[in-house]
Amino acid sequence: MSRLRVNCFSLSLDGFGAGPNQNLENPMGVGGMDLHQWVFPTRTFQKMFGKEDGTTGPDDDFARRGFDNVGAWILGRNMFGPVRGVWEDESWKGWWGDNPPYHTDVFVLTHHARKPIEMAGGTTFYFVTDGIHSALKQAKASAKDQDVRLGGGANTIRQYLQAGLVDEMHVAVSPVVLGVGEHLWGGLNMPALGFTQTEYVPTPAAAHYVLVKKS
């Protein structure tokens, strides 16, 4: 059965998943890039950009696991780009260039319709205007028996958690304090939502936690 998973979602020590003021120069908000220093050196991340080297070990293990058995993705609009409101034109096609790292169908939550975008490497972006349940239904149909990975951002993950739709979460807590940005945990009662911690793996770059929803 297809599950909805959060993988490799980086958080600050004070619970922020992105910094404030996202723009072209700061795709993860001011200071947000620091949250991801654990993954950038890994072999899995480097391989996404055509390089064969990179670090191995627990950080790389979690990065690699994030792509295992994933048949589709869901993203909030901010994860697709910094463009706000009505699409003035269709020139923006994501942060990742012509060959994004997804290699599946990707369903982008938005309030403004846009035609699908076919990219190199098997990635097609679909823009979903009728809510999180519709995006999940479409993503599961695309993924067939594989899982759907929920890429974020924090607000999108919160919506799916509050709706009881997330089955598993891996968060990587980085030794960074942001103070402001997009907070993930505020107001969420994870035990009441059915989650229990199943893994804890500390590394010099991050503390990895896996939470699984009890069936």
* Cα dihedral 70→75→79→80 (10° resolution): 100
Q: pLDDT higher for 82 or 124?
A: 124
Q: Does the pLDDT at position 81 exceed 80?
A: yes
Q: Does the pLDDT at position 204 exceed 90?
A: yes
pLDDT at 104: 97
Q: Does the pLDDT at position 215 exceed 80?
A: no
User: Sorting pLDDT into bands at 50, 70 and 90, what band is 23?
Assistant: confident
All domains in the chain, ordered by first residue: 4-83+98-213 (3.40.430.10)
Report whether 149 contacts 169 (CB < 8 A): no
Q: pLDDT higher for 181 or 215?
A: 181
Instruction: Indicate the SS3 state at residue 198.
Output: strand
Q: Does the pLDDT at position 213 exceed 80?
A: yes
pLDDT at 172: 98
pLDDT digits (tens, 9 = 90+) for 144-200: 999 999 999 999 999 999 999 999 999 999 999 999 999 999 999 999 999 999 999
Mean pLDDT, all residues of the chain: 95
| DSSP one-letter code for 125 | E
Is beta strand 124-128 parallel, antiparallel or unpaired with respect to 117-118? Answer: antiparallel
pLDDT at 2: 93
Say which residues have a Cβ less than 8 Å from residue 135's Cβ, sequence separation at least 6.
Answer: 74, 107, 109, 128
pLDDT digits (tens, 9 = 90+) for 100-119: 999 999 999 999 999 999 99
Q: pLDDT higher for 49 or 124?
A: 124
Report whether 116 contacts 127 (CB < 8 A): yes
Residues paired with residue 10 on neighbouring β-strands, in sequence order: 172
Q: Does the pLDDT at position 49 exceed 90?
A: no
Report whether 26 contacts 32 (CB < 8 A): yes
Integer Cα distance of 32 and 3 in angstroms: 28
pLDDT at 1: 83
pLDDT at 91: 85
